[in-house]
Structure 1
Amino acid sequence: MSVSNSVNVQILDKEYCINCPQEERSNLVSAARYLDTKMREIRSSGKVIGADRIAVMAALNITHDLLHNKPADVQAAPEAKSDQVRDLLDRVDLALASDQDPAQS
């Protein structure tokens, strides 16, 4: 049985506290760093404005890379990867909703 722990990650200058099983902590931290890098690349291009839009573009780019640049085993089970992507998007949605800044609404 896995024990859940909170992990603090920083993405695009904002800190998020995410519950994560201890054995997945390093994977979550790595994923957050990767996402932060991608979002910073998009923001620095100057073509996309706003954290929400940057997050969506990063998600689309990462998903595209996952689906089109990985070995055949990724293509063989798209529903499993789709579930993983959906789960990650749900986690991001929860983190964004709990961290919503009323001044930006």
Structure 2
Amino acid sequence: MSSSEPVALRLIDREFLIACAPEERDGLLEAAGFLDRKMRELRANAKAPSFERLAVLTAISVAHEFLSLRKQHDYQEQRLSDGLAALRNKLDAALDSEPAKR
């Protein structure tokens, strides 16, 4: 079991220390960088929001994006599954109609 180590993350102009396992450090830093860019993007389009309001707006934006992508993925997965089922049915029908070989 890995021990947790503090990692310094910078969001806008604030620093946060977050404990994480060493093997999760790179992913955490990447996520913080993504979040920082999103917060800066929203701050540029808003009228001087507080850090807390900016964090909530960013969380809602990221959650919306995530849910949209998940819905799109689920739809594509369902289409693939339906296509494979149709192909399987065609193959079964072709095999059933083929005369038995002796």
Please classify the TM superposition score into its range, dividing by the shorter chain length. 0.5 to 0.7
Aligned ranges 1:17-56 → 2 under 5 Å: 17-47=17-47, 49-56=49-56
Match of 2:74 among 72, 75, 91: 72
Identity %: 38
Q: Give, in angstroms, the shift of residue 21 of structure 1.
A: 0.7
**1:74-93 aligned within 5 A:** none
Q: How many residues align?
A: 73
Deviations 1:42-70 (A, max 9, x none): 11112461111100000000001111123
Aligned partners of 1:42 and 1:48 also within 8 Å:
no
The CA RMSD measured in Å over matched residues stands at: 1.6
| Superposition deviation, residue 3 in structure 1 | 1.6
> Could you say which structure has the greater relative contact order, defined with CA pairs below 8 angstroms and 6 or more residues apart?
1
- Tell me the distance in 2 between the aligned counterparts of 1:48 and 1:68: 28
Query: Could you report, residue by residue, the CA deviation over 1:51-103 in whole angstroms, capped at 9, with x for unpaired residues?
Result: 11100000000001111123229xxxxxxxxxxxxxxxxxxxxxxxxxxxxxx
Larger Rg: 2
Looking at structure 2, the residues matched to 58 and 46 of structure 1 have their Cα atoms a distance apart, in angstroms, of 12
Runs of 4+ in structure 1 over 3 Å off? none
Q: TM-score, normalised by structure 1?
A: 0.65
